[in-house]
Amino acid sequence: MVIIESYPVAVLLCVITMLCWGSWANTQKLASKKWAFQLFYWDYALGVLLLSLFLAFTMGSSGEEGRSFFNDLGQAEAGSISSALLGGVIFNIANLLIVVAIEIAGMAVAFPVGIGLALVIGVFVNYIANPTGNALILFIGVALVVAAIVINAIAYNRKSKDSNTRITRGLVMAILGGILMSFFYFLVANSMATDFYTPEAGKLTPYTASVIFAVGLVVSNFLWNTIFMYRPITGERATYADYFKKGDSRLHMIGILGGAIWSLGFTLNIIAVGQAGPAISYGLGQGATLVAALWGVFVWKEFRGASRNTNLMLAGMFLFFIAGLGLIIIARTT
């Protein structure tokens, strides 16, 4: 399988993750103009699985290092498989809550609050499990990200013309999703070998863990997304019949593309764990909050008409995010 051998390359992969995780939700924005996000999400889940399989049969099955996909899957212990599967199940409900928050409050709010919170808690959880890097620098970087999240929430409250009930509901969904999402990565990392060159018996390589994670996501979708379809928190009720009657090939491809974009970022990120460690890889990947906020502010114009003070707060939010992510990168080299 393909293995990276240097920390700078690991950082590059995490930057690609950041771009992927911060950009996939644009496909949701495009599709939501035509049909419910719950229907989009079925295609998204399929895209996650398809891309993970593609990488497993290509990058995960080539070269002489490590174990090939089928060999790795055949020797995996039940505990490792269960951990990666559970990671997919927890991620799925967390991501659905954040998707709802995007529907209610927009990308510029749902991502910085939800994913930013997941970054903060997730870095702590993953560092405790596998302490890699300078803790002081790492957690100062995390603290700057927290400051950015708080500034973003205040800025949204200042500009919003929606009712207080709607504002609160969007933020609550983002917070709940963020808390749950902070634990999925630990479960996937716990299923993987620590040495990708000579993986421990019973543990998974990143490519296999990605596929099993995706299976957990797709299977749990029949529970979580069905609930969101028939008991929607926002928007109209959707049915399985709607998926086949209302969706055309373009809408289905948009959803699959969104899932593939996210899945590419995820697999590259857990490949980077071998050089960067789980806490730093996860923390850098969840810098997607910055990318999503840029999309929301500059492309989707979610802060159009905001006051000068609000725009200054947004600028401060971006600066805090950039500084925090920079410190997270430096933490591994000191």
| Residue 136 token pair | 């002081």
- Asked if residue 297 has pLDDT above 60, the reply is yes
Q: What percentage of the chain exceeds 90 in pLDDT?
A: 63
Instruction: Report yes or no: 255 and 44 within 8 Å, Cβ to Cβ.
Output: yes
230-259 residues labelled b (16+ CB within 10 A) or e (exposed): eebeeeeebeeebbeeebeeebbebbbbbb
| Residue 136 burial (10 A CB sphere; 0-12, 13-18, 19+) | exposed
**Residue-level length of the chain:** 334
pLDDT band, residue 18 (cuts 50/70/90): very high
Q: Note whether 88 and 96 are within 8 A (CB).
A: no
Round to whole Å and give the CA distance between 207 and 71: 12
SS3 track for 74-114: HHCCHHHHHHHHHHHHHHHHHHHHHHHHHHHHCHHHHHHHH
| Mean pLDDT score across all residues of the chain | 90
Residue listed under structure tokens 């993750």: 17
Please check the confidence at residue 272 and state whether its pLDDT lies above 70. Answer: yes
pLDDT at 78: 97
Q: Which tens digits make up the pLDDT trace of 158-184?
A: 766 555 666 678 888 989 999 999 999
Q: Which of 209, 328, 291 is nearest to 20 (CA)?
A: 291
Helices 116-129 and 184-191, interaxial angle, to 10°?
30
Taking phi first (over 0 means left), then psi (-120 to 50 degrees means alpha), and beta for anything else, what does residue 66 get? Answer: left
Q: What would the pLDDT profile of 187-244 be if each residue is shown by its tens digit?
A: 999 999 999 999 999 999 999 999 999 999 999 999 999 999 999 987 889 999 999 9
Q: Report the Cα 194 to chain-centroid distance in Å.
A: 22
- Determine the average pLDDT of the residues in 10-25: 93
- Indicate if the pLDDT at residue 132 is higher than 80: yes
List the chain domain ranges: 7-330
DSSP SS3 for 133: coil
51-65, 101-115, 116-130: which is most confident? 51-65
pTM of the model: 0.91
Residue 209 tokens, joined: 């863990």
| Pairwise CA distance, residues 59 & 68, whole Å | 9
Dist CA 287 CA 215 (whole Å): 25
Position 308 scores a pLDDT of 87
